């Protein structure tokens, strides 16, 4: 199922803050609305953020009254600036925004034609993501055996992508191959993407899933109840994988218990010109930690630290599942001379 659709200048996508109790479709018609939706995680997950960024710029172009190409390009650059300021960590957002901008910069033709080319490029980004996720799923399913229990963190599912999911795409593909698997979903504090979204998707698809709180993973691994971990990624750099806060802890636990730890992500998530120390980790509102579901659970005014992502050093990663195949630990060095 498509998680983001373009309909004559309007972007349709589920409001993920309402799930799992309400299924509401957002109708986004302005760049400001797209920026708000991204900032507040109505639309979220690295690959979906890429498509959302591209469609956000397409909205500006579609509704533009610009009469020449340079004016249209300037409006696109303004839209891209607004969108790039929303969230700093997932590289797909920047990659997709730059891809549509570059398409327009290199364009020779009328302004009306340029508009069409930009919308087409945004749609292409979305279509490619959908297709790549199915390939990631197929590639990753080879790592999963009949009867395996797989632990995942956050939501790297259909909801986080244009279609099918990355980590959950791997799980879905194994299930579709007839493997009798089970999933353990970390709830993923503070914003509960695991309990709200991962369990929602898997339950809907009939894939057995058990929800745990984040602090239960060590115990469950120590009991031999997990065969494999698979998670998504927001940015893969030379020496680390950035993903939802808590991923690093899961990776360390997996290593301690000799459980393979895999990352599933499209190449649009790779940012191999950077190291972990170059990446900005988004810090979010303290309310997300002091409140759950609108209810205050900590004293008013308590000091809070709320980083949204962490960096898992590559030494904890058994392999990275991409649309082109699986890069195993021994392959990491090939990405760049100083990759590990």
Task: List interacting residues with ligand MRU (CB under 6 A).
Answer: 41, 44-47, 90, 154, 156, 160-161, 166, 193, 232-234, 243-244, 308
Q: Which residue is nearest to ligand MRU (CB)?
A: 232
Whether 234 is catalytic? yes
Length of the chain: 340
Is beta strand 149-152 parallel, antiparallel or unpaired with respect to 25-28?
A: unpaired
Q: Shortest gap between Cβ of 83 and ligand MRU (angstroms)? A: 14
Q: Which of 287, 291, 270 is nearest to 336 (CA)?
A: 270
154 or 202, CB closer to ligand MRU?
154
- Cβ 146 vs Cβ 332: under 8 Å: no
Find the radius of gyration of the CA atoms of the chain: 20
104 or 226, CB closer to ligand MRU?
226
Say whether the peptide bond before residue 190 is cis (omega within 30 degrees of 0). Answer: yes
Q: Shortest gap between Cβ of 125 and ligand MRU (angstroms)? A: 15
- The HSE-up count of residue 162 (CA atoms within 13 Å, CB side) is 25
Backbone angles phi, psi at 152, to 5 degrees: -135, 160
Helix (H, G, I), strand (E, B) or coil at 82: helix
- Cβ 141 vs Cβ 174: under 8 Å: yes
Largest interatomic CA distance in the chain: 66
115 or 135, CB closer to ligand MRU?
135
Q: Shortest gap between Cβ of 29 and ligand MRU (angstroms)? A: 22
Query: What is the residue-wise DSSP string for 216-264?
Result: GHHHHHHTT--SEEEE--SEE-SSEEEEETTHHHHHHHHHHTT--EEEE
Q: Shortest gap between Cβ of 253 and ligand MRU (angstroms)? A: 17
Q: Shortest gap between Cβ of 335 and ligand MRU (angstroms)? A: 19
Q: Hey, which bits of the chain come out as E strands?
A: 5-7, 10-14, 25-28, 149-152, 182-186, 209-212, 228-231, 235-236, 240-244, 261-264, 291-292, 295-296, 309-313, 319-322, 325-328
- Cβ 274 vs Cβ 238: under 8 Å: yes
Query: Looking at 234, 239, 271, 310, which residue is catalytic?
Result: 234
Q: Shortest gap between Cβ of 254 and ligand MRU (angstroms)? A: 16
Residues classed as catalytic: 234
């Amino acid at each position: 199922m498509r998680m983001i659709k373009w309909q004559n200048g309007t972007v349709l996508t589920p409001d993920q803050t309402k799930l799992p109790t309400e299924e509401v479709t957002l109708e986004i018609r302005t760049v400001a609305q797209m920026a708000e939706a991204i900032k507040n995680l109505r639309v979220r997950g690295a690959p979906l953020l890429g498509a959302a960024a591209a469609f956000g710029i397409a909205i500006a172009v579609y509704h533009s009254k610009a009469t020449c190409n340079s004016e249209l390009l300037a409006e696109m650059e303004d839209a891209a600036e607004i969108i790039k300021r929303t969230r700093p960590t997932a590289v797909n957002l920047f990659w997709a925004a730059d891809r549509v901008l570059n398409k327009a910069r290199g364009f020779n033709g009328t302004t009306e034609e340029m508009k069409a080319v930009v919308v087409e490029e945004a749609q292409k980004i979305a279509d490619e993501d959908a297709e790549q996720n199915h390939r990631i799923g197929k590639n990753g399913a080879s790592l999963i055996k009949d009867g395996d229990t797989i632990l995942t963190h956050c939501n790297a599912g259909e909801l986080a992508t244009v279609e099918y999911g990355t980590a959950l795409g791997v799980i879905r593909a194994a299930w579709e191959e007839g493997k009798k698997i089970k999933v353990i979903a970390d709830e993923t504090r503070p914003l509960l993407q695991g309990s709200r979204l991962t369990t929602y998707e898997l339950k809907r698809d009939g894939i057995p899933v058990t929800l745990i709180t984040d602090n239960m993973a060590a115990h469950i691994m120590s009991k031999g109840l997990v065969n494999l971990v698979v998670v998504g990624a927001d940015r893969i750099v030379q020496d680390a994988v950035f993903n939802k806060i808590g991923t690093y802890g899961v990776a360390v636990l997996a290593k301690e218990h000799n459980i393979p730890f895999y990352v599933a992500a499209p190449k649009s998530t790779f940012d191999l010109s950077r190291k972990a120390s170059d990446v900005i980790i988004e810090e979010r509102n303290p309310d997300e930690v002091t409140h759950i579901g609108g209810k205050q659970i900590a004293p008013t005014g308590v000091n809070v630290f709320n980083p949204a992502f962490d960096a898992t050093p590559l030494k904890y990663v058994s392999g990275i599942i991409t649309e082109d195949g699986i890069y195993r630990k021994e392959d990491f060095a090939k990405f760049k001379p100083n990759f590990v």
